[in-house]
Copies of this chain bind each other. A is one copy, B any other.
Amino acid sequence: MELDALIRCVLLTIDPPSLGDTASDWERLVRALRPHLDDRPLEPTFAALRDLGPALRRGEWRVAATLADVGDAWRLVRVEPVDQAAHPFGLAIDLGTTTVVAELMDVKTGAALASRLAYNAQRQFGADVTSRMMHAEKPGGLAALRQAALDTLNDLVAGLCAEARVQSRDIATAVVAGNTIMQHLLLGLDPSSIRREPYVPTTTRFPILRAAEVGLNLAEGAPLYLFPAASGYIGGDVTAGLLATHIADDEPLSILIDIGTNGETVLGNREFLMACSGSAGSAFEGCGLEWGMPAQPGAIERVWVQYRTVGGEMPRGICGSGLIEALGAFLQADVIDRSGKVNLAAPNTRRGESHPEVIIAAASETAVGRDIALRQGDIENLIRDKAALYAGSRILLANAGLTFDDVARILIAGNFGQSLETEQAVRIGLLPDIPRERIQFIGNSSLAGAHAALLSRGAWKRAREIAASITCLELTVEPRYFDEYTAALFLPHTDLSLFPSAMSN
């Protein structure tokens, strides 16, 4: 397959100047590049203009020019003597509230060279987007949050470069998918209006800035593509997820639930897209739980009577899939009741320091030397989040005059382990009681979207159309939302007629 990535590297042989043809270096370059520009203008970056003269002469008029598609024009990102030119590298980044994942790609071959995950260093200022926005309003808060995001990304870049033996200045672009607040904080845009009714961001479409002005350690002129958002709470990560899943291209109706810190749900197909965000899902990402963690080696990703960890390592914590399965398994084994209350008569339970808890891995078998457990409060957090997610889907469907029966597939995105027992997700009422084959766990769809856009100009263009076509519902002003939410605070639900398979168990 021929890639048509957002950046491309063109090898050029340029006519050297003579007294009969004294056109400037820039004119000569434009002349040689013309067949590659599809009649669109070429604009220089400051960095590329500075490198141009020396590169042409050191390369003896054979150079590699790296171009980026910036919409109405091509941007000359860099120019190097042809014998010094590296493949152009690019980054696909999922800038999550809790975790950040970056993938280093060779955009010529499409090969992923390395991938890394890190906690977002902004966590020191608050676990969720609301506390981050509150911190941004303190003196110096916004600058500190911005710097923390940059530190996180630059550390990831350094790690990826070391692993893949690549120079960071050879990374010629980055595509970033994050929620609207994360994208604002990365650029130092004031997010305070997103927190207050009517929840308006500075922008939903971000200009294509240069890495150097943003503060990222890539090639100086590298363009930074931030995914377009639909609103303050339906962000670029949702757009990226829709892009990756092709929900907006297909006829069958789908629901996409992103169980990230910000818990967004989208209902739609190629005819319409409707989205809401419940500020829910962070518990399933491990936020606020004693033993929560991302799906990294040592994360308990499956729980039956026993558990299984990512990479088969000794356990260090529990990731999203493990949390869902744990709740389901506890309910199935009567370790917790339908309200989530821990039954202290059940095995592996105990009264912890202040509240009951359920031990999943005893200290002796963990990598951390302490019991890994779910506390009563953790369980309640998880139930609140699953209730918010379920209620969100219900509200979207009601607004569209539809039910779960109309939905061809439900895609669950999140930083999960490799697999997940669908049955348990339905058992706890996180997912509706529909035929199980309609449910898919798709992993990090935000990263997948960033990856797709990096490697395809058409995909990036489509992302802008998708973002513009989403109708956003604001749940806090949706009259039925509170009732739907309250009703879902049981396992699986107060209305068991919605979960016939639960009744038959």
> CB within 8 Å of B: which residues of A?
17-19, 21-27, 41, 43-44, 46, 49-50, 52-54, 57, 72, 187-190, 192-193, 197-205, 207, 209, 213-214, 231-232, 472, 474, 477
Question: Shortest CB–CB separation between residue A123 and chain B, in angstroms?
Answer: 24
Task: Find the B residue at minimum CB distance from A54.
Answer: B190
B-side contacts of A202, CB under 8 Å: 24-26, 49, 52-53
Q: In whole angstroms, what is the CA distance A131 to B231 when docked?
A: 57
Question: Which of B22, B26, B41, B231 contacts A22, CB < 8 Å?
Answer: B231
Question: Shortest CB–CB separation between residue A79 and chain B, in angstroms?
Answer: 11
Question: Shortest CB–CB separation between residue A479 and chain B, in angstroms?
Answer: 13
B-side contacts of A190, CB under 8 Å: 50, 53-54
Instruction: Offer 23 A-B interface pairs, CB within 8 angstroms, sorted by A.
Output: A17-B198, A17-B200, A19-B198, A21-B198, A22-B200, A22-B472, A22-B474, A25-B193, A25-B201, A25-B202, A26-B204, A26-B205, A43-B207, A44-B207, A46-B207, A46-B209, A46-B214, A49-B187, A49-B189, A49-B207, A53-B192, A72-B72, A213-B213
Question: Shortest CB–CB separation between residue A473 and chain B, in angstroms?
Answer: 11
Question: Shortest CB–CB separation between residue A222 and chain B, in angstroms?
Answer: 14
Question: Shortest CB–CB separation between residue A484 and chain B, in angstroms?
Answer: 19
Q: In whole angstroms, what is the CA distance A213 to B212 when docked?
A: 10
Q: In whole angstroms, what is the CA distance A209 to B210 when docked?
A: 13
Q: In whole angstroms, what is the CA distance A28 to B215 when docked?
A: 28
B-side contacts of A23, CB under 8 Å: 200
Q: In whole angstroms, what is the CA distance A205 to B188 when docked?
A: 33
B-side contacts of A188, CB under 8 Å: 50
User: Are B24 and A201 in contact, CB atoms less than 8 angstroms apart?
Assistant: yes
Question: Which of B25, B203, B209, B214 contacts A200, CB < 8 Å?
Answer: B25
B-side contacts of A209, CB under 8 Å: 46
Task: Find the B residue at minimum CB distance from A23.
Answer: B200
B-side contacts of A22, CB under 8 Å: 198-200, 231-232, 472, 474
Q: In whole angstroms, what is the CA distance A229 to B46 when docked?
A: 18
Q: In whole angstroms, what is the CA distance A464 to B199 when docked?
A: 45
B-side contacts of A192, CB under 8 Å: 53
User: Are B203 and A26 in contact, CB atoms less than 8 angstroms apart?
Assistant: yes
User: Are B57 and A193 in contact, CB atoms less than 8 angstroms apart?
Assistant: yes
B-side contacts of A44, CB under 8 Å: 203, 207
User: Are B49 and A204 in contact, CB atoms less than 8 angstroms apart?
Assistant: no
B-side contacts of A200, CB under 8 Å: 17, 22-25
Task: Find the B residue at minimum CB distance from A26.
Answer: B203
Task: Find the B residue at minimum CB distance from A45.
Answer: B207
B-side contacts of A49, CB under 8 Å: 187, 189, 202-203, 207
B-side contacts of A474, CB under 8 Å: 19, 22
Question: Shortest CB–CB separation between residue A225 and chain B, in angstroms?
Answer: 15
Q: In whole angstroms, what is the CA distance A44 to B207 when docked?
A: 7
Q: In whole angstroms, what is the CA distance A198 to B200 when docked?
A: 57
Q: In whole angstroms, what is the CA distance A72 to B41 when docked?
A: 11
Question: Shortest CB–CB separation between residue A228 and chain B, in angstroms?
Answer: 11
Extra contacts, 11 of them, besides A24-B202, A44-B207, A50-B187 (Cβ < 8 A), are A19-B197, A19-B474, A24-B231, A25-B193, A26-B203, A41-B72, A43-B207, A49-B207, A50-B190, A52-B202, A53-B193
Q: In whole angstroms, what is the CA distance A21 to B198 when docked?
A: 8
User: Are B24 and A477 in contact, CB atoms less than 8 angstroms apart?
Assistant: no
B-side contacts of A21, CB under 8 Å: 198
B-side contacts of A232, CB under 8 Å: 22
B-side contacts of A17, CB under 8 Å: 198, 200
B-side contacts of A201, CB under 8 Å: 24-25
Question: Shortest CB–CB separation between residue A179 and chain B, in angstroms?
Answer: 14
Given known A-B contacts A24-B203, A25-B203, A204-B24, A18 and B198 have beta carbons under 8 A apart: yes
Question: Shortest CB–CB separation between residue A459 and chain B, in angstroms?
Answer: 23
Which of A192, A193, A214, A474 has the largest count of B CB atoms less than 10 A from its CB? A193
Question: Shortest CB–CB separation between residue A199 and chain B, in angstroms?
Answer: 7
User: Are A213 and B46 in contact, CB atoms less than 8 angstroms apart?
Assistant: yes
Question: Shortest CB–CB separation between residue A185 and chain B, in angstroms?
Answer: 12
Question: Shortest CB–CB separation between residue A220 and chain B, in angstroms?
Answer: 10
Task: Find the B residue at minimum CB distance from A229.
Answer: B24
Task: Find the B residue at minimum CB distance from A56.
Answer: B193
Question: Shortest CB–CB separation between residue A158 and chain B, in angstroms?
Answer: 24
Task: Find the B residue at minimum CB distance from A477.
Answer: B19
Question: Shortest CB–CB separation between residue A474 and chain B, in angstroms?
Answer: 6
Task: Find the B residue at minimum CB distance from A196.
Answer: B57
Q: In whole angstroms, what is the CA distance A53 to B205 when docked?
A: 14
